Chain A
Amino acid sequence: MLRMAEALRRVLNLGSSADSESEYTAEAGSPLLLLGGPGSGKTALLFAAALEAAGEGRGPVLFLTRRPLQSLPRGRGAALDPLRLQKIRFQYPPSTHELLQLLCSAHEARGPAPSLLLLDGLEEYLVEDLGPQEAAYLAALLLDTAAHFSHRIGAGQGCGLIVALQIQEEGDSGEALQLSLVQRYFPAQCWLHVDASGPGQRCLRACLDPGGQGPRAEWWLAFRPDGEMTVTPWPAQAGKPSSDKGSSSEGQP
């Protein structure tokens, strides 16, 4: 059940340890919700996860987002290999209605089932007068679609699911209800906090909470002006959750 968290961990570990690939086999896992404010690097992380999954000799990656990416995030040369890019299939459902239709009919599509399902900007689909039950249905359908892809892939492997949701610092009560409904379906969550923005580069902190199925973990993400992302493990962590040094008031609910 921890495997999706592992997939993101693998992405986040890229900057530090080159030999982590052997440790984490090509598997999907429990769904993951990526939470952060505007400009907190959610899209860049999703894209890095897509490239990572596309390089494993597995099925294609399905990347859902309301509008095309503004620019391709930079990466190391090997990661932006055109062969990997070709395996990432982008679809742009323009409305909640179209997104629901896409998920409900996902089993009608022919061809190899995706090994990773990504949705960027869930908040753009949650607005539009969506009631609580419909918001829950959207979250549940994402799980159901990934479960169906896993069924089609079969044999030990599965389809991973990562959904990025932008959260406001002070959301209104309607948004809070929607957030809690989505979180019900995504016990594993990764929070992105903007940590510091120096001249030339932006730094973020990524806190992964695998939903009670493992220890929390944290990383630094730095974006250089050219868009290149570097990831380093948060130093004071090392499997000691008691150490609260440096994490002031940013507790997770």
Chain B
Amino acid sequence: MAVALPGATLPAVVEELLSEMAAAVQENARIPDEHLLSLKFIFGSSAVQALDLVDRQSVTLISSPSGRHVYQVLGSSGQTYTCLASCHYCSCPAFAFSVLRKSDSLLCKHLLAIYLSQVMGTCRQLKVSDKQLTDLLFVKKKQAAQKDSAAFNCVHLNTSQCGARANRIWHKQVL
């Protein structure tokens, strides 16, 4: 699977960092500390939150027989957010506010978690029917209370705990 979401535009520096991380993971099955630091430098606190989401395997790639696919990310609050696979869109409030309205963030933590889970190969896969995929994309207005998506209950597998590690390194270096 391609690492970058096609059609999405990331600054060259982020693209470069992600491909370096992917290479490092392939080689050592581990993200080097300096990459975690760079990530935190670029994305701030979102980086740690995104790494936490990856640690919890919260990212699911959902595809249907048509070949269309979409991502769902189980947020820390238990809410599930839908992210498009072809361009930057997330249904979370932070994306609406910080990315779309204020333009002071590149991505929300859920989109960043998608990139990172691709890099680390920890993306869960789920096959649904074409009709089910339509229903996932076509979310009716004001349908906020959909917390009980049992299919996406997270499992704490503690693979590498990158989020916690990033936080530790950050504090060691800065404080």
CB contact list, B94-118 vs A, under 8 A = 95-96, 100-101
The majority secondary structure among interface residues of chain A is helix
CB contact list, B70-116 vs A, under 8 A = 84-89, 91, 95-96, 100-101
Q: Contacting B67 at CB < 8 Å: which of A104, A137, A148?
A: A148
A152 to B66, CA, bound (A): 8
The interface residues of chain A lying within 8 Å CB-to-CB of B66 are: 107-108, 148, 152
A151 closest partner in B (C-beta): B67
A115 to B88, CA, bound (A): 23
Interface-central residue, A100, A105, A148, A152, by most chain B CB under 10 Å: A105
Q: Assess whether A187 is interfacial by the CB under 8 Å rule.
A: yes
B67 touches A107 (CB 8 A): yes
A106 closest partner in B (C-beta): B68
B68 touches A132 (CB 8 A): no
Q: Contacting B7 at CB < 8 Å: which of A106, A132, A147?
A: A147
A107 touches B64 (CB 8 A): yes
Q: Assess whether A175 is interfacial by the CB under 8 Å rule.
A: no
A133 to B96, CA, bound (A): 6
Q: Contacting B131 at CB < 8 Å: which of A108, A132, A181, A184?
A: A108
B135 closest partner in A (C-beta): A104
Q: Assess whether A90 is interfacial by the CB under 8 Å rule.
A: no
A103 to B130, CA, bound (A): 13
The interface residues of chain A lying within 8 Å CB-to-CB of B133 are: 107
A184 touches B86 (CB 8 A): no
Given known A-B contacts A105-B134, A107-B133, A108-B134, A141 and B84 have beta carbons under 8 A apart: yes
Q: Assess whether A144 is interfacial by the CB under 8 Å rule.
A: yes
Interface-central residue, A104, A106, A177, A187, by most chain B CB under 10 Å: A104
The interface residues of chain B lying within 8 Å CB-to-CB of A187 are: 9
Q: Contacting A104 at CB < 8 Å: which of B6, B87, B96, B134?
A: B134
A181 to B68, CA, bound (A): 24
CB contact list, A96-132 vs B, under 8 A = 100-101, 103-108, 132
CB contact list, B39-81 vs A, under 8 A = 64, 66-68
CB contact list, A126-173 vs B, under 8 A = 132-134, 136-137, 140-141, 143-144, 147-148, 151-152
Q: Assess whether A185 is interfacial by the CB under 8 Å rule.
A: yes
A103 closest partner in B (C-beta): B137
A147 touches B100 (CB 8 A): no
A107 touches B6 (CB 8 A): no
Minimum CB–CB distance from A92 to chain B (whole Å) comes to 19
The interface residues of chain B lying within 8 Å CB-to-CB of A181 are: 100
The interface residues of chain B lying within 8 Å CB-to-CB of A152 are: 66-67
B85 touches A144 (CB 8 A): yes
Minimum CB–CB distance from B9 to chain A (whole Å) comes to 7
A232 to B79, CA, bound (A): 54
Q: Contacting B87 at CB < 8 Å: which of A105, A133, A143?
A: A143
A105 touches B138 (CB 8 A): yes
Closest 8 CB pairs of A and B: A147-B86, A107-B66, A140-B89, A104-B138, A104-B137, A107-B68, A133-B96, A105-B134
**A interface residues with partner B (beta carbon < 8 Å):** 100-101, 103-108, 132-134, 136-137, 140-141, 143-144, 147-148, 151-152, 177, 181, 184-185, 187
**B interface residues with partner A (beta carbon < 8 Å):** 6-7, 9, 64, 66-68, 84-89, 91, 95-96, 100-101, 130-131, 133-134, 137-138, 141
Provide a sorted-by-A list of 10 A–B residue pairs whose CB atoms are within 8 angstroms.
A104-B137, A104-B138, A107-B68, A133-B95, A136-B89, A136-B100, A137-B91, A141-B84, A148-B67, A177-B101
